[in-house]
Every structure is written in C-alpha cells, then in structure tokens.
Amino acid sequence: MRLALAFTLAVLPGLAAAERVAVRAGDHPGHGRLVFDWPAPPAYGLDQQGEQVLLRFPPGTEFQLPRKLPRNLLAAVAEGEGIRLTLRPRATARHFRLGGRVVVDLLDPLAEPARQDARADSGPASRPAPKQEPRLKPGGAKPPMPAPGAGSGPVAAEIPPVRPHPARPADAPPAASPEPPRAEASRPEPPPAAPSPAVPPTAAAPSVAALPPASLPARLLAMPNRVPALQLPFAAGTGAALLRRGEEVLAVFDTAAAPDLVPLRGDPVFGGLRAEALPGATLLRLPLAAPAQLRARREAAGWVLEAVRTAAEAGPPGPVLATQAEAGPPPRLVLTAAAPGRVVPVTDPETGLPLLVGTLREGREAVPIGRRLPELDLPPTTLGVAVLARSDGIALQPGNGRFLLTASGGTRLALDVDVARADAGPTMTRSFELPTQPVPELLARLQSLQAGIAGAPPLGRMPQRRAAGETLLALGLPQEAQAMLLLGYAEDPRAGADPRYTALSAAAALLAGRLGETAALAAPGLAESDEAVLWRAALAAAQGDWRLAGPGFSATLPLLLAYPEPLRARLLPRAALALAESGDAAALGRLLAAAGPAAEGLALSRAILAETEGKAEEALAGYDAVAAGRDRQSRARAIRRAVELRLASGRMDAAQAAKTLEAVLFAWRGDAAELEARLRLAALRRESGNGRGALALLQETATMVPEHAAALQPALRDSFLAALADAPPLAAVALFDAYPALLPVDQRGEAAVQLLVERLVGLDLGDRAATLLRQAMEQASGVSRSALGLRLAALRLEEGDAAGTLAALAGSATADMPSAMQRDRAVLAARAEARLGRAAEAIAALRALGPAGGEALSQLLAEQADWAGAAAALDAHIGAALPASPAPLDDAQRRLLLRQASLLALAGDESGLAALRDAAGARMGEGPPAEAFRLLTVDPLRGLADLPRLQRELQLFRNLPSRLEALRAGASLTR
C-alpha cells in the first residue's frame, strides 16, 4: 500500500516548479569664439598675462572641451578651478555674458600701427619727437591695438593691469614732472580697448596736430596697485571734468594747451585717446566699455587719469555736488563745489544737444546719480558737473564755491530726488536712461522731445526718438514707445545698428506682449549691465522660464523699485510671480513689502508666499479670491495651485483633484502653462486609476502641440502602462495591439507584459498570450528580451511544443543575461530535449548544472523509474533550496519534501526515510502534504499493536485522491 501511494506521488508533475558644462568653439570673421554653456549665470573671472589667459569658475566644475579649437587658440587646459587658454601671439581676449553662457572672443592679431611723428604737419622738425621706449613683455610679444570694427563691439569692462614701461634710456629727454620718478613695477599687458568705430586710434595724429603746440608729452605711469594710469601735464589751475557718454569717456580741460598724445600710441588702454580742440579748452575722448571708468586726481605735475574695471575698484566716491534751489526769478539751482573752474560747452555725442560741462580745479566732487527734468538733464559724472540742455533758456555759470544753473521762460528746476531711487543709482548699472520724474513732468518732457523731433532733420532725429521712447516706456506706454522707435528704423540706418536703440525697442515689445520681437534683449552687442539682466529676466518670465527669471529679478530688485511708477506697476507682477515660482521667498517678501498693500496684481504672489511660509488657510483664501477675479491667467494659476495645496494637505484625493483640474483646463491656453497643466492632469488620472483617460489626454496634447511630442513620450509610456494594468485582459490586449510602440523597452515594459500574459493564461488563452509575448520580445532588447523569451518558452513547453520552446530560447538569447536566468533557460532547454526523445542529452545537461538542475533531473529520472537516482538528484536540490534554520516551511517547500519522501519510498530506502523524517518532520506543520509525508516516513508494521495506525493509514489512503484533486484545483482544504 505504501509503495502504491509513493508511486502515485512520484509520477505527479512537480507542484513547486518554477546628470557637466559643455564648451563650444567656432571661428568668425575677425575673431574665434569659445562658449561655456552654463545652465545659469556663473560667477567667473578672467586674468590675462600676455598670451596666457586664466578663466576662473566656481570650484567643482567639470568641462567638456571641444576637439577643435578656434584659430587664435593654441591650447585649452583645465587648471585648478578654471581653464588656462594659450593664445596665438598678439591675439587678445574679450569676454562677456550671454544669458547663462560665458562667451570668450579671441580677436585676430593685427599689424603694429606705423610710428610717425605727428608733429610733422605743424612745421619744420625743430623739436625731436619723443623717443619711443621699447615695450618689454614677459612671455610673448605685445598685443597690437585692434583696428576699427575688430570683433563685434567694444571690449568688455575687464581692464587687466597694464605692463610696466622700462626705465627711460640715458639719452632720452628728462620728464617734465618735478616729482621723483615712480617705481616701474612689473605688470602684465591688458587687452586693448576697442576704439571708436568713427575714428580709429591711428587717426589720432591729425587731431593732435590741429591742437596748439605743446611742449610736454603725456606719460604712462606704473602704479604700485597695477592700475593703468596716465599723466597729463596740464598747468596748475587747469580745471577738469569726467563723464561717460555711451561707450566713450569724455575728459574736458579748460585750457587750450593740450599735451602731446603721440607717446600713447599702441597702448592697450590709452592708445585710443583722441584730442579735440575747443575754443579755450581741450576735449579728450577715450573709448572704454562699461562698467570700466576713469578716475582723476590733481598732482603737482598735472592731472592723472586711472582706468579701473568697476566702480568698486574706484574706491569710495568723492563728495557729491550738492544741489539746492534758490527762490526768485529766474528759477535757479546751486551746485556747491570747493574749487569750480570754467564752464565748457560741448556737443553731446549721443544726442547732438548742447552739453554744458563745469570743471573743477581740484577736488573730486561729482554727480553720481543722474537726474532728468523736462528741459534739461543732469547726467552722472565722476568729476565736475554736466548739464544737457534741451531748452534754449538753460545757462550754467561758475561762482564763488558753486555753480549756478539758471533757466528762463518758466522752466522748472526743482529736483525730484527719491531716496529709494538714489540708493539704487550708484549700485545698479544701466543700459537705458529712463526718466524718473512725476507723470506731469514726463508728459512735458515728451512734448518737448516731440517738438525737437519735428524740427530736426531726418538723420538727426535718432537720439531724440530714443529719448522719447524711453519717456513713453517710463509712462507705461509700451505700444506707443515701440511705434516711436520703429519710425527711427525707417529714417536712419544707424538705428538698426545701435544695440541700445534696438534693445529699447525690444523692451517695449516685451511689455506690449510681442515676444517675437524681443531678440535684441539677448543680443551680444548690448552692454552687460544690471538693467540688461533685469529685462532679460522679464523676458524669461514672459516665456515661463522661472529658473532664469527668478535669480535675475532678485539680483536687480533695487533697480526695479527705482523705476517710475507707471513702468514699475507693469513689471512688479511679473517679478513677484517669477520670484514666487522660483522659490525665492526672501526676495519676494522684500518686493511685496516695498510695493505696499495697495499695489495691484500681487494677490497671487502674496498667496504663494503664504503657502511657502506654511500658512495654508491664508494661502487657500488668497487663491480662491484670485480664482474669482477677471484675470484669466492669474485665475488659472490660482486654481491649479489651490488644487495642489488641497491635495497635499489631504483635503482632496487624486480623483477629486483630477476632476477639478479638468473643469478649468481651458481657463488659459496656448503657452507652456497649458502644457504643464495637461501633464499634471494626466498624472492625477493615473494616480486615481484612470490610466486610459490619462493616455487619451496626452494623445490629444501631442496632436495639439506636435513640437512637444518628444517631451510627452515619458508621460505617454507611463499612462500606457497604467492603462494596461487597469483594463480587462482582452481590452488590454487590444490596447497593446493599437499602440505597441508605447511599450517601454525596459523592466517596466517587461513586467506589464508578464502580468498581461498571466491574466490571459488564467483565461485559458495560451495562444493569445504566446502571440503577445512574441510581439513584445521582438520590440525589447537586453535582459528584458531574454526574460520575455524565457516566459514564452515555458508557455510553449506547457502546451507540449518542445520545438517551439527551443526556438523561443534561441531567439531571445543575449550576452548580458544574469546567471540565474541562464540556469532557468538551461533547465527549460533540457526538459524540451527530453520531450523530443533525447533524454540522455537532457540528463547530461542537467547534471552539469549541479544543484540548480536537481529538481528537473529528478523528474526525468523518475519518468525512467530510476527512483534512487531521482531521490539523490532531488536531495541535492533540497539542500540548496531549503533554509538551514528550523523556521517553518512554506507550501512549496513542504511539497518538495513530500516528493522526496515518495521517491525514497519507491527506492526502498528506509534509512533515507528515517533521516528525512528526523530532519524535516517537525517543520511540516499541518495539512494534506504533512499527512502524506508522515504516512510515507512512518515506521513499517511490526505487530498487532500497529493495527490502529494501519486503520488510520487506510482511511487516509481512501481520502487521498480527492484531497490531491482538490489540491491540484487550488481549493482550500481542511482536515
């Protein structure tokens, strides 16, 4: 009886079967270029020592250098915290920012300008020209002065220290200065300043020759602080004034005895200095790109000019020329100065209007903050005072310790000095000259400008049109400002080539909502300034790029708050929203506090700030209030943020959130916000179990915006997998057949197919499951392909198709399969070989696998009635599969032990049965497998005392077939 039971169990099938910075290079006419593609504007520095240029960037940066370097670059090597560039001899470097990118232009080397005596035209050579001193440069040749038009604009505002001049030879004439000679410290050569496009540096000789003869030459100084310096030997009592107009610095001296500038030729900083003779005065013009500037001081030998990179290097500003209005007709303003000089009238190079310049004989008084009135401007200066007269009734006169500014014809001279705007002036650099007067004065200024435009010739209107455009923009009238500036393009070809003019037109287009006309704001020709950063941030906010807009507004917040009220009212909501979306709560708090509670358009930003500070109820109340307003864009943003807040705080589940967002999906359409809302709605539908709805929404979105189809693919694949998991088996198969390309070719796609196959097999649709597996396997690659092929082979073997099993295994083999998968595939192949009648080859293959192939080998040996061999093979497998600890066994492990007991019983191995009973009997627990195991491993009958046990065994044997059938069918069993 025991042998029959063991045989029955032995022949049953086994129940327990199985994210750095890229650098781009290029060559352009006149220069080569390196572009460092940073994701956000970095802090960096540039040091040039001859042909060696060191770019310093934040530590921890890794660069991907280009294979082909520009023609003017011999080598580029990462060094420390930056990159060292080796330039071609006499090439020069120029750098600037362009959005998040850092651009380094390598200007072509040019020939040295011919050296000639500029005084030859003034008479016989009675005076020898100053002897040109040899220019020594450690590490390479001296870079030449660039010709007009070299590169794409003026040199950036980085002025490296100049190289020292060697000591004067013994035969050279002595210096005219009575002061002792300065120490000639070794200094590196700076890059040349870009000359003015109108007059090249080499054309300076005629200007000098036109001046009255001068006996003393200008002299370059070697300063201990390595700052480029120039000594102009003006006589004692000569007054001077300094101010910037565009890309030039004007130096005005109230004497006609100008120094000789010939010794400055070829100097990288002062070589472009040009002199113009005025009645009783001298005007010096130096091309110098902002924010570099000149500072001046009076010494015994004359005036000394020093070129500094930034205002910070210039040191603390000098005393401010205080202004005070005096009563009585005509209106007049007093500008206090300790030693005023003369007033020199100059033609303003930017507007063509009269510029009255008041010089100082000593001291450093200046006007650091420019001011605008309807009839005149007080531009900022670094020495002295200047008045840009827009009316014929303006006069500036020197007095005892003061300058007196008077006006006739009812012109107002009261200055509107706002404290916040004054604080922003010295620290924020400008690209435009936006007036800050009250609205009535702005309107009067606009009327005056329009009258001037009407009376000027067509080619002389551009400066006044630009000033009118700035006034209209300050009034918050961007459409009118752009229309005014567009008229200038039709009149004057210089308007389209003026970076400041085109950038101003682009700023007006930005506020007018014409984003397609704003390219000039990012053009490299626009001088880098805080104001340029501000308007580029406004452009990024209009495009929905909060990552760039937020830091830009945060860095230029004082400048924004200094704008006139109409313009500030247009920009504040954009800035507040950008700061809120970028998560800069500190800057947002400062903006809202400065704007005040009465400012319009800031309710949404206040609600976002409340949410950031953890005030959920206040934030929800604010969102609901904005959602009830009339601004469609703000309404859509408020509803979406309220939904997210309620979802995060548990006030709403994913299904409710999806339903709410679906109702307001069309509240705002046509930009990146709509695409973001659709993606979020699809994610909520997936979370709520509506994968098919998420898939349909994303397919509709891909049809609406085909340019974003590639970006939608990840969300489409996620929705497709969710739809496969949620749909019934047949509907899931139809969905797979309709969109097979959406199945991910990774483990997620493999898991989805495996789940769908199991559901089809459960419905006894093996053929359909096999077809699905074959289609998925053909699309997959790597380990996923091997795993799907293994499941297809197992399915073929269960259907009795041994040849199909081997074909599926052969068609899905890959080189990167894990070892466990390789063993499973080998076992499956051996079983298929046995089905094809090649039992010996199958047994040999399984023996080669060791314990991993023990279970399958035991099955094959049992089919050949080799009970002892089958028991030995299964015993090796049990030793590797069962845990050594006395922990309870699971159902599969108990069935494995029951099978081993049946094989030992068929082999007649009583000692093996006893050992198995002792080792695992206590761990079998209760249930049909445990009862069968005890029956097989019990001691044989030895007498009448064992008859009750025999009766129990007979009863168990009678019930065993029905219990086993129930076990095979998966029904629950009880004793």
Are 485 and 522 in a shared domain?
Answer: yes
At 175, the pLDDT band (50, 70, 90 cuts) reads very low
**Residue holding tokens 């220069």?**
31
How much is the average pLDDT of 389-400?
86
pLDDT in tens, 79-129: 877 888 999 888 888 888 776 788 898 888 765 443 333 333 333 333 444
**CA 725-751-698 angle, 5° bins:** 50
Tokens found for residue 38: 């940073």
Residue 278 scores a pLDDT above 80: yes
Q: Is 389 helix (H, G, I), strand (E, B) or coil?
A: strand
Within 582-708, where are the H helices?
Answer: 585-595, 603-612, 616-627, 632-648, 654-663, 672-687, 691-704
Residue 833 falls in which region: left (phi positive, over 0), alpha (psi -120 to 50) or beta: alpha
Q: Take residue 669 and report the two structure tokens written for it.
A: 């359409």
386 and 477 inside one domain? no
Reported as a single tens digit per residue, the pLDDT across 606-628 is 898 888 888 888 888 988 888 88
What is the spatial distance between Cα 92 and Cα 76, in angstroms, rounded to a whole number? 15
- 350 and 389 housed in the same domain: yes
| Residue 471 belongs to a domain | yes
Q: Are residues 888 and 964 in the same domain?
A: yes
Measured at the alpha carbon of residue 302, what is the angle toward residues 275 and 364, in degrees to the nearest 5? 95
For CA atoms 166, 171, 176, 179, give the dihedral sign: positive
Q: Which CATH number do you get for residue 85?
A: 2.60.40.3500
Fill in the amino acid letter for 638: A
DSSP 8-class letter at 630: S
Q: Sorting pLDDT into bands at 50, 70 and 90, what band is 949?
A: low
Residue type, 274: R
Contacts of 923 (CB under 8 A, 6+ apart): 886, 887, 888, 889
Query: Does residue 625 lie in a domain region?
Result: no
795-805 pLDDT per residue, tens: 888 888 888 88
Phi, psi of 722 (to 5 degrees): -65, -40
Final residue in a domain of this structure, among 540, 557, 586: 540
Mean pLDDT, residues 666-687 = 78
Instruction: Answer yes or no: do 476 and 522 share one domain.
Output: yes
Nearest CA among 331, 327, 477 for reference residue 391: 331
Q: Does pLDDT of 8 surpass 60?
A: no
Instruction: State the total domains in the chain.
Output: 4
Distance from the Cα of residue 730 to its chain's centroid: 46
Instruction: Please list the alpha-helical segments (H only) found in 706-781.
Output: 709-726, 729-738, 747-762, 766-779
Higher pLDDT: 725 or 965? It is 725
Whether 794 is covered by a domain: the verdict is no
Element (H, E) at 473: helix 462-474
Whole-angstrom distance, CA of residue 425 vs CA of residue 558: 9
- Sequence letter at residue 156: A
The predicted pLDDT at position 485 comes to 94
Kindly provide the b/e burial profile for residues 416-433, where b requires at least 16 CB atoms within 10 angstroms of the residue's own CB: eeeeebeebbeebbbbbb
| Percentage of residues in the chain having pLDDT higher than 90 | 12
Q: Which residues pair with 358 in a beta bridge?
A: 343, 385
Among 257-261, 552-556, 645-649, 776-780, whose mean pLDDT is lowest?
Answer: 776-780
Structure tokens at 502: 């085109």
Tell me what the mean pLDDT of segment 863-875 comes to. 78
266 vs 202: CA distance, rounded Å: 9
The residue out of 107, 141, 168 marking a domain boundary is 107
What is the rounded average pLDDT of the residues 212-227? 72
Does 831 have pLDDT greater than 50? yes
Cβ atoms of residues 3 and 906 within 8 Å: yes
The whole-angstrom separation of Cα 838 and Cα 850 is 19
Distance, in Å, from the CA atom of 664 to the CA atom of 632, rounded to the nearest integer, reads 11
Question: What's the mean per-residue pLDDT of the chain?
Answer: 76
How many residues are recorded in the chain?
A: 975
Q: Which domain holds residue 949?
A: 882-975
Average pLDDT over residues 395-419: 70
List, for residues 905-935, the tens digit of each pLDDT value. 777 777 877 777 777 777 777 777 777 777 7
- Mean pLDDT lowest among 265-274, 495-504, 930-939: 930-939
The answer on pLDDT for 174 being more than 80 is: no
pLDDT of residue 328: 57
Q: Which pLDDT score, from 0 to 100, does residue 332 have?
A: 78
Burial class (CB in 10 A: 0-12, 13-18, 19+), 83: buried
Are 33 and 76 within one domain?
A: yes
**pLDDT number for residue 431:** 84
- Within this chain, do residues 55 and 101 fall inside the same structural domain, yes or no? yes
| Residue 584 falls inside a structural domain | no
Say which DSSP state 162 is in.
P
Report the greatest alpha carbon distance in the chain.
153
**pLDDT level of residue 970 (50, 70, 90 thresholds):** very low
Instruction: Based on the fold, state whether residues 449 and 469 are members of the same structural domain.
Output: yes
Which residues, including other chains, have CB under 8 Å from residue 350's CB and lie 6 or more apart? 245, 246, 463
Q: Tell me, what amino acid is at 511?
A: L
Is 296 part of a structural domain of the chain? no
Q: Which of the given ranges, 4-13, 140-149, 276-285, 926-935, has the highest pLDDT on average?
A: 276-285
pLDDT band at 202 (very low <50, low <70, confident <90, very high): very low
Is residue 655 situated within a structural domain?
A: no
* SS3 category, 674: helix
Handedness of CA 833, 837, 839, 840 (dihedral sign): negative
Q: Is residue 71 part of a domain?
A: yes
Q: Which of 417, 443, 458 is the last residue before a domain boundary?
A: 417
Mean pLDDT of 832-848: 82
- Taken in order 695, 697, 700, 704, is the CA torsion positive or negative? negative
In this prediction, residue 179 carries a pLDDT of: 39
Instruction: Give residues with Cβ within 8 angstroms of 60, minimum separation 6.
Output: none
Half-sphere exposure of 712 (CA within 13 A, CB side): 27
Q: Within a domain: residue 830?
A: no
> Mapped to the 3 state alphabet, what secondary structure does 364-388 carry?
CCECCCCEECCCEEECCEEECEEEE
What are the C-alpha distances in Å from 445 to residues 379, 408, 468, 471? 16, 16, 8, 8
Nearest to 682 by CA among 710, 658, 708: 658
Average pLDDT over residues 435-443: 86
Kindly state the percentage of the chain with pLDDT values over 70: 77
User: Could you give the 3-state DSSP secondary structure of residue 857?
Assistant: helix
- Same structural domain for residues 27 and 102? yes
Rounded average pLDDT over 197-209: 35
d(CA 233, CA 178): 11
Tens of pLDDT, residues 308-345: 877 666 665 567 666 666 655 667 788 888 899 999 99
**Cα(717)–Cα(109) distance, rounded to whole angstroms?**
55
**Based on the domain organization, do 329 and 351 belong to the same domain?**
yes
Q: How far, in Å, CA of 287 to CA of 310, rounded?
A: 15
Give the mean model confidence (pLDDT) for residues 732-741.
78
* 459 and 386 in a common domain: no
What is the pLDDT, as a whole number, of residue 206? 34
Mutual angle of helices 462-474 and 499-511, in 10-degree steps? 30
Could you tell me where the DSSP H helices lie in 475-545? 478-491, 493-497, 499-511, 530-542
Residue 407: closest CA among 450, 373, 384: 373
Same domain, yes or no: 327 and 412: yes
The pTM is what?
0.47
* Integer Cα distance of 207 and 789 in angstroms: 88
- Residue 15: CB atoms within 10 A of its CB come to 17
H/E segment holding residue 240:
strand 240-245
Instruction: Give the span between the Cα atoms of 636 and 892, in whole angstroms.
Output: 57
> Whose structure tokens read 């000039």?
520
Record the tokens describing residue 492, joined without a space: 């004057």
Residues 6+ apart with CB under 8 A from 410: none
Report strand pairing: 31-37 vs 21-28: antiparallel
- Average pLDDT, integer, range 3-15: 45
Query: What is the sign of the dihedral through the CA atoms of 173, 176, 180 and 181?
Result: negative
Distant-in-sequence, close-in-space partners of 951: CB < 8 Å, separation ≥ 6: none
d(CA 944, CA 937): 20
CATH classification of the domain holding 527: 1.25.40
Is residue 594's pLDDT more than 80? yes
Can you give the pLDDT at residue 19? 40
What local confidence, expressed as pLDDT, does residue 95 receive?
84
Q: Which of 15, 4, 3, 8 is nearest to 913 (CA)?
A: 3
Residue 282 has pLDDT above 80, yes or no: yes
Rounded CA separation 74/79 (Å): 16
pLDDT of residue 955: 62
